[in-house]
Amino acid sequence: MGRAFTYVILGGGVAAGYAALEFVRRRGDASPGELCIISDEAVAPYERPALSKGYLLPEVAGGARLPAFHTCVGANDQLLTESWYKEHGIELILGTKVISADVLRKALLTSTGETISYKTLIVATGARALMLEEFGGNGSDAENVCYLRNIVDADKLVHVMRSSPGGNAIVIGGGYIGMECAAALVANKIKVTIVFPGKHCMDRLFTPKIAEFYENYYTSKGVTFIKGTAVSSLEISSGKVTTAILRDGRRLPADMVVVGIGARANTTLFDGQLAMDKGGIKVNGQMQTSDATVYAVGDVATFPVKLLGGDARRFEHVDCTRRTARHAVAAALNPSSAGDIDYLPFFYSRVFALSWRFYGDNAGEAVHFGDMSLSASSAKFGAFWVSAGRIAGAFLEGGSTEEYEAIAHAVRRGVAVPDMAQLAREGLAFVVRE
């Protein structure tokens, strides 16, 4: 059993949706056998960030549900429902896992036993959540232990949350998932304790000072932080976790557990077939892998970032996913005119009434600005990272559109900082001139 397509997008997440729209914009509707998307998820591509935000809100607050957040609404663009793909000639092969790939033969084998061959492949397999068991822990199968990567996970989390009103949640991990889920749990009136081994939350990005603000804010909402240790095991009774046991022996009662201890790019189908770098599939500025007929985009791709002197980076963020997906399609359809991607790294998060953005690279010396006290009616503060005398990265909480644009622009231009004291004194005004 087999089918052949000119273009195959492997994976049906954020990258796939944006790649499909870009394809139609550049080429028009696909003709039969021209383009398919293969996804092991049961639904058409959607904006994954919604899962840790609107999707988890209490019903009274009108939690977001499909079809409202299919791609590409996250970029204020068209809403691509399942019927959109059909109308544009794109075959959506859902609920189908690719179990092996043969790059030399240009063929993919699916869980249904079908072989799908391609002329050009776009790998958009994203990442998976790391499991407790990979760190010597236990309990992932318990009825009240939740991970959050896809809509099935999100449905479980919503169900468990609604079955534990007023209960205790242990959140394992103080990164993006831990912090965003903790805020959602509080909104659902669940008592939250966050446990992680680091010194402060979001330690891959935040400075200790920035983290202190968010930790204080969460504490004011009733959240407890237990830092510098880990959950060593989960005690389970009748299929449910009842207690989380910490390394130091402390026992925390638990009605539910949310795990966010990092992600790993889904590269294994291509191990030994494509060059890898920094945990992802290595690509050039056109998002092309070591095999010219295969492109990689989104969380799975490690690509050269011009702004960082061509340093190869892999990001696990949605803006990067959208842009790399569009770029790969442009390059695959017209290699001579696409040029190399010129990406300005951009991450963001929204929790409670807070909202921040970060641009660039958090390398060099951090200079903080603004009022970081909780008493301010609405927080506005941030930091610039200065490397080799220039602004390399910028973080801003509570900014306006113009202010976010200004910090992005300053990072993009690498604004010179001759005097660190002046930057510290002027803060945002250093880059936002009247």
Name the site residues for ligand NAD (rule: CB under 6 A). 52, 127, 135, 172-178, 180, 196-198, 203-204, 230, 260-263, 316-317, 347, 349
User: Which long-range contacts does 234-237 make (Cβ < 8 Å, 24+ apart)?
Assistant: 234/132, 234/137, 234/138, 234/139, 234/142, 234/145, 236/138, 236/139, 236/142
The amino acid that residue 295 corresponds to is: Y
* CA pair distance 422, 402, nearest whole angstrom: 22
Binding mask 49-78 for ligand FDA (x = CB under 6 A): x-xx--------------------------
Q: Which is nearer to ligand FDA, 63 or 427 (CB)?
A: 63
| β-pair partners for 116 | 3, 108
Nearest to 182 by CA among 207, 135, 131, 148: 148
CA 207 to CA 196: how far, in whole Å?
16
Q: Which of residues 135 and 348 has its CB atom nearest to ligand FDA in the complex? A: 348
Could you tell me if 110 and 99 are in contact, meaning their C-beta atoms sit under 8 angstroms apart? yes
Is residue 54 within 8 Å of 64, Cβ to Cβ? Answer: yes
Residue 298 C-beta: closest distance to ligand FDA, Å? 2
Which of 73, 98, 145, 258 touches ligand FDA by CB under 6 A?
98
- Here's the x/- map for ligand FDA, 2-31, by CB under 6 A: it reads as ---------xxxxxx---------------
Strand partners, 121: 8, 294
User: Which partner in ligand NAD, ligand FDA, none is near 197 (CB below 5 to 8 A by kind)?
Assistant: ligand NAD
Cβ neighbours of residue 28 closer than 8 Å, sequence gap 6 or more = none
No. of H helices and E strands in the chain?
A: 9, 26
Identify the residue among 299, 304, 399, 410 touching ligand FDA (CB under 6 A): 299
User: Shortest Cβ distance from residue 182 to ligand NAD (Å)?
Assistant: 11
Nearer to ligand FDA, 15 or 256 (CB): 15
Report how far Cα 65 is from the mean position of its chain's Cα atoms.
19
Distance of CA 376 to the CA centre of its chain: 30
Is the Cα torsion angle 411, 413, 417, 421 positive or negative in sign? negative
The verdict on 298 binding ligand FDA (CB under 6 A) reads yes
Choose the contact partner of 51 out of ligand FDA, ligand NAD, none; CB within 5 to 8 A by kind: ligand FDA
Return the residues of window 328-367 that contact ligand FDA according to CB under 6 A: 347-349
* Residue 289 binding partner per list ligand FDA, ligand NAD, none, with a CB distance cut-off of 5 to 8 Å that depends on partner kind: none
Task: Round to whole Å and give the CA distance between 261 and 402.
Answer: 34
Which element (helix H / strand E) includes 194?
strand 191-196
Tell the smallest beta-carbon distance from residue 49 to ligand NAD (Å): 6
Peptide bond into 72 cis (omega under 30): yes
List 20, 24, 38, 417, residue binding ligand FDA (CB under 6 A): 38
Contacted entry of ligand FDA, ligand NAD, none for residue 15, CB cut-off 5 to 8 Å set by kind: ligand FDA
Instruction: Find which of ligand FDA, ligand NAD, none residue 287 binds, CB within 5 to 8 Å per kind.
Output: none
- Residue 161's binding partner among ligand NAD, ligand FDA, none (Cβ under 5 to 8 angstroms by kind) is none
Which residue is at the shortest CB distance from ligand FDA? 13
The residues binding ligand FDA (CB under 6 A) are 11-16, 38-41, 48-49, 51-52, 97-98, 124-127, 148-149, 266, 269, 298-300, 316-319, 321, 347-349
